[in-house]
Amino acid sequence: MSIGRRLLTVYDRIAEKTRTLESRGARVALAPQEAVSMAEVVLTIVLDDTALEEVTFGANGIIDGLPEGAVHAGLSTISVELAKRMKKEHARRSREYVGATMFGRPEAAREAKLVIVTGGAPSSISKLQPIFKAIGRLSFTAGLEPWHANLFKLCGNFMISSMLETFGEAQALIRKAGLEPNEFRSVDGRILGITGLSQLRHPNSDRHVHATRRHLGLRP
């Protein structure tokens, strides 16, 4: 499998998750370091800080396997502190690290409609543009440091989470008054120019709110 003329190598701690890409021609690596050994560009997307530290700095991690000239783009939602460490550790080895956070639900990813926010050296971001065009509809740069992209992402998540909480509180008040929440959502959607408000509340949104506040250093 390739993006443009570039061959794709994939790694996941859960091997079953690589099967679909393998069936489409991707090469499957058995360890992170193996996955990046011949790479021009490396993309990592994992759950949190701990997972990124493990795949980067752990046994058979990618940090010491990156070839000269390769660019590592971190797509995960991580803390500003870790983003700064990632930049520092890559620079110490003369390697480039770029923050490349994403906005969009899973269906947006499948339809290549993600919005990508980058941070880092312009020359490194330029190398990533063919990939961004393949997975997203829009990309823009937050600043010259990778953590700038992560701060944009965390602030964006905080705004979305706050909006979700606001909708929940408003609907609770509507219910308490004996009115119809669905009618309220319809009216509110027309006022705000938003459709599908009933689908905004995600089962994991409470966890998402707490994680975002933690990353921003705010009280739970």
Query: Which residues participate in catalysis according to the annotation?
Result: 153
Q: Which tokens belong to 14?
A: 């859960």
Contact in structure between 53 and 30 (CB atoms under 8 Å): no
User: What is the dihedral sign for C-alpha 205, 209, 214, 215?
Assistant: positive
Measure the CA dihedral 151/220/165/52, to 10°.
Answer: 40
- Residue 122, Cβ density class (10 Å: 0-12 exposed, 13-18 middle, ≥19 buried): exposed
How much is the CA Rg of the chain, to the nearest whole Å?
20
How many other CB atoms are found less than 10 A from the CB of residue 200? 14
Say how many CA atoms lie within 13 Å of 137 toward its Cβ.
10
What distance in Å separates the CA atoms of residue 91 and residue 86, rounded to the nearest whole number?
Answer: 8
Q: CB-based contacts of 152: which residues, under 8 Å, 6+ apart? A: 101, 117, 119, 142
Long-range CB pairs of 12-21, under 8 A, 24+ apart, other chains included: 13/55
**Side chain identity, residue 92:** R
